[in-house]
Homo-oligomer: A and B are copies of this chain.
Amino acid sequence: MNRVALLAHDEFPHFAKTAMGLLRYSTFDVCAVIDRANAGNRVRDLLPDVQDAPIVASMAEVPPVDMLIIGIANVGGGFAEDWRPDVRAALKRGCTVMAGLHDFLADDDEFAALAEAHGGALHDVRKPPRSLGVSQGRARDVSATVVLAVGTDCAVGKMTVALELTRAAQARGERAAFIPTGQTGIMIAGWGHPIDAIVSDFVAGAVEDMILEKGAAHDWLFVEGQGSIIHPAYSAVTCGILHGAMPDALVLCHEEGRARSKGFEGFPLPNPGAYVDLYEGLTRPVHPARVAAGALNTRAIDDTAEAEAAVTRYGEALGLPATDPVRFGPDAILDALL
């Protein structure tokens, strides 16, 4: 089940968050990216620092693979009908199709019939388990130190920061685990609860369940955050993770140049210090956490010296250590935590 194709029509690379995350962090062997807008190029032409693969126009041009993965994490999580021909073709080849949509592939009659007829499978990672319940307020009791990546907005790099910190801590010999909370993180880690698809009463409970599962056998848990605590649409997800995980420390993630909420341009972002006050204030009565460091996504800046200057400004605004963990490595953040 290791050879995969990633569907990312018209969104690759930067708007196909799931495809990008899998290319950078997963153990899948990506045999092709399907993107009609970039067909004929290779991944390395667009993203130099991740796993390489050819980019093709449709499933018909994909070499033998075990699985097709929907690589686009769109707002609302609906199935886009222009993906249907590729999903259909993959199922006719007997492939598994994996997606992290709110619309479940398994509920689609055509896909269910094709999977049945050709021996494939449909894997909806955003379908929550039925066994979840209300939090018991126990995550603060685990022996592991829990670090949560929080953000100033959605799509600033919270999953990336949690993964980079996990790997760096493991490289230092620490018993560290990544706690996924979104569809891409779940695909990378191979387990986890899709927090934004869980009924709101059980959100904290689902996060607590993961913290308790990994908390005893690890010294460090790095939790993927979601959204932002003042996001006009997604703050429920953010707040449930904050109180469900009961972190000991927070890393505040931001993208350089992001002045307004992505996709919600009528909502300017406040300065980073305002977020520190809000996140720390919300943890204080439950289980106090400090913002220990900042992580700045500088991918929009080509010049290294400019990126360094942006990181310096961000750290000064927070009064905390900061870096871009992808560009400059996560050591500055890890040193502030360990």
Contacts and interface: CB of A to CB of B under 8 A. Distances in A.
Contacts of A277: 281
Contacts of A137: 232-233, 264, 266-267
Interface stretch (A4-12, A48-56, A82-90, A193-201): A193-201
Given A134-B233, A199-B200, A233-B137, A267 B286 contact: yes
Interface in A222-276: 229-240, 242-243, 246, 264, 266-270, 274
Q: How many copies does the complex hold?
A: 2
Contacts of A239: 229, 235-236, 238-240
A99 B185 CA distance: 36
A102 B234 CA distance: 22
Given A235-B243, A270-B285, A282-B278, A76 B133 contact: yes
A205 interface: yes
B229 A204 contact: no
Contact of A236 (B77, B236, B246, B286): B236
Given A230-B282, A236-B237, A240-B235, A75 B134 contact: yes
Query: Considering residues A229, A268, A286, which has the most beta carbons from chain B within 10 angstroms of its beta carbon?
Result: A286
A241 to B, nearest CB: 8
A59 interface: no
Query: Considering residues A76, A197, A229, A232, which has the most beta carbons from chain B within 10 angstroms of its beta carbon?
Result: A232
A297 interface: no
A160 interface: no
Query: Considering residues A75, A76, A201, which has the most beta carbons from chain B within 10 angstroms of its beta carbon?
Result: A201
A196 B201 contact: yes
A101 to B, nearest CB: 11
Contacts of A32: none
A166 interface: no
A192 to B, nearest CB: 15
A282 B197 CA distance: 23
Given A201-B237, A286-B230, A134 B269 contact: no
A135 interface: yes
3 shortest interchain CB distances as A-B pairs: A236-B240, A239-B239, A137-B232
12 contacts: A136-B233, A196-B199, A197-B201, A199-B200, A201-B234, A230-B243, A230-B282, A232-B246, A232-B286, A236-B243, A239-B239, A278-B282
